[in-house]
């Protein structure tokens, strides 16, 4: 997103030195976590390697072959040197392909070891060659997306982001196509409740999700194909997003790259805070997943809006800024570029507070000022939706107006029936009408909007930035993991030695091999 003459940094009179200090502190706070992530692997990272190598399918109980294989390798050879060396060594010894080895592993008819010498070198070469085929497929998908966008032309910001998720992928598809025809630029298929806590990715097309639809490779393929048809019909590229979070974050990220998704929900701390997933597990998994997203040209959406559902949106505003700065650092360290950083924030201040809209503008302008080249993801009101659909529709209109005034890049469509029912198609139509009205009437108002240099909005933005710097200084002194354990973000206390998935974290030993990481970091495909 290019900068304009309406630079919010100048309008808010933000001190460049303070901004540089904030980013420097975020780097210092995040660097030890990156070091920890580099020293560890997880079962999901290792399963992602196998998925990139082409291993698909599940046994009769529905457990994916990648899970079966990694579990057996872990028991017999350990994962401290990665899954690739033992698995491809077994393939070379037996002459079997990857699927057959996985099936034999589940049946107990093949053994695994960590090879040495020439055997290790042969296994390393073979694993790299097979994983490289998956990386090349991701590269091809990125090129195909670029060609489609060039063919149809770029979509002007903000992109209108609309959620579709009935639980049944075959019901989702016509709803998603209808939403695109009504003006949605991005279709988000939210996951079935609780999928983030499953330590496996379901296989195949699914029809029985709860408050969402399961994220599976086949569901990704079906929806991408349907939206490609609608893109051709409409003459504009319709983007698809899903969730790369939870215990299978690296695998879902890999599947997204293999099926040409365009955006993925991928926050560095969401799973820790709101799903009680072990912090080390999460940081290891998110680094690998973001390396995949970087290679695939996928835009990530971070989850700072969630903090404001548990903490007060005024008192905790600076924690959102701190999280955005940390997400930026972690994302760039993994290879993502500014245009891929859909950093999150939300319109969640209690509307009964005096000057609530002015406060929302201050926070939104601060985010835009700090990240001028990022397509910020702006979330609509949810916490203070009461069930009064008329009040809710008005609040969503104010939200849309704030987005127009502050240049948000990705605008999630607010629903007046939030907190009442899962939205009907008619609710989505009305919500999209709200968006169209506001942006037709006031979409260019940003050109005229100038808050007073020493007025309420500018002073509030500078206050929040100052509080963010103060918090970052404390985090640097105490470490980020301790800050998470103390409940700094979203009032959730999550110690580093607890949480779901801890047993799936493995410290790497000398000789560890991950051909996927090597390929992603080298920028090579062979």
Q: Kindly list the catalytic residues.
A: 270, 305, 377
Q: Give the ranges where 334-424 is alpha helix by DSSP (H).
A: 356-370, 389-406
Bridge partners (DSSP) of residue 507 are 40
Residue environment code for 379-412, b if the CB has 16+ CB neighbours within 10 A, otherwise e: bbbbbbbeeebeebbebbbbbbbbbbbbbbbbbb
**CA gap 312, 320 in Å, rounded:** 11
**CA gap 423, 240 in Å, rounded:** 19
**CA gap 308, 454 in Å, rounded:** 27
Q: Are 106 and 61 in contact (CB under 8 A)?
A: no
The length of the chain is 526
Strands (E), 185-283: 186-188, 239-243, 263-265
Kindly list the distances between the CA atom of residue 450 and the CA atoms of 16, 18, 362, in Å, as whole numbers in the listed order: 19, 22, 12
341-342 and 263-265 strand pairing: unpaired
Q: Give the ranges where 12-162 is alpha helix by DSSP (H).
A: 16-39, 43-52, 65-76, 84-94, 98-107, 117-152
**CA gap 450, 461 in Å, rounded:** 14
* Residues ≥6 apart with Cβ < 8 Å to 140: none
């Amino acid at each position: 997103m290019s900068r304009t003459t309406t630079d919010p940094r100048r309008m808010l009179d933000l001190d460049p030195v303070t901004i540089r200090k904030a980013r420097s502190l975020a780097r210092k706070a995040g660097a030890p976590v990156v070091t920890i992530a580099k020293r560890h692997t997880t079962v999901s990272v290792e399963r992602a390697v196998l998925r990139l190598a082409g291993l698909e399918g599940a046994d009769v109980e529905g457990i994916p072959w990648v899970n079966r294989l990694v579990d057996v390798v872990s028991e017999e050879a350990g994962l401290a040197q990665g899954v690739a060396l033992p698995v491809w060594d077994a393939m070379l010894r037996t002459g079997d392909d990857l699927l057959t080895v996985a099936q034999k592993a589940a049946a107990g008819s093949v053994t695994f070891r960590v090879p040495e010498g020439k055997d290790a070198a042969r296994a390393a070469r073979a694993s790299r060659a097979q994983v490289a085929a998956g990386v090349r497929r991701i590269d091809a998908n990125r090129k195909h997306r670029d060609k489609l966008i060039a063919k149809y032309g770029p979509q002007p910001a903000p992109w209108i982001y609309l959620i579709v998720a009935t639980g049944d992928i075959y019901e989702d598809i016509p709803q998603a196509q209808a939403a695109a025809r009504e003006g949605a630029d991005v279709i988000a298929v939210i996951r079935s409740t609780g999928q983030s806590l499953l330590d496996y990715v379901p296989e195949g097309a699914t029809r029985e999700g709860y408050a969402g639809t399961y994220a599976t490779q086949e569901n990704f393929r079906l929806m991408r194909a349907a939206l490609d048809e609608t893109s051709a019909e409409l003459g504009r590229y319709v983007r698809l997003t899903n969730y790369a979070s939870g215990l299978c974050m690296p695998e879902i990220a890999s599947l997204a790259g293999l099926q040409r998704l365009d955006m993925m929900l991928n926050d560095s701390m969401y799973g820790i805070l709101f799903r009680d997933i072990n912090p080390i597990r999460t940081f290891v998994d998110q680094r690998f997943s973001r390396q995949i997203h970087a290679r695939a040209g996928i835009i990530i959406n971070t989850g700072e809006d969630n903090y404001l559902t548990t903490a007060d949106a005024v008192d905790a505003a600076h924690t959102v800024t701190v999280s955005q700065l940390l997400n930026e650092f972690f994302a760039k360290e993994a290879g993502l570029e500014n245009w891929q950083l859909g950093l999150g924030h939300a319109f969640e201040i209690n509307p009964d507070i005096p000057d609530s809209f002015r406060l929302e503008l201050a926070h939104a302008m601060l985010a835009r000022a700090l990240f001028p080249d990022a397509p910020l993801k702006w979330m609509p009101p949810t916490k203070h939706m009461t069930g009064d659909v008329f009040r809710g529709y008005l609040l969503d209109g104010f939200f849309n107006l704030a987005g127009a005034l502050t240049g948000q890049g990705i605008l999630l469509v607010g629903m007046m029936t939030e907190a009442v029912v899962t939205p009907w198609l008619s609710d989505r139509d009305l919500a999209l009408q709200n968006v169209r009205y506001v942006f037709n009437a006031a979409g260019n108002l940003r050109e005229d909007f100038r808050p007073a240099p020493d007025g309420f909005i500018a002073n509030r933005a500078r206050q929040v930035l100052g509080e963010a710097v103060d918090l970052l200084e404390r985090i640097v002194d105490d470490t980020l993991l301790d800050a998470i354990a103390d409940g700094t973000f979203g009032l959730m206390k999550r110690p580093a030695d607890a949480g779901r998935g801890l047993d799936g974290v493995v410290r790497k030993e000398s000789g560890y091999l991950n051909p996927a990481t090597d390929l992603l970091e080298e920028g090579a495909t062979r």
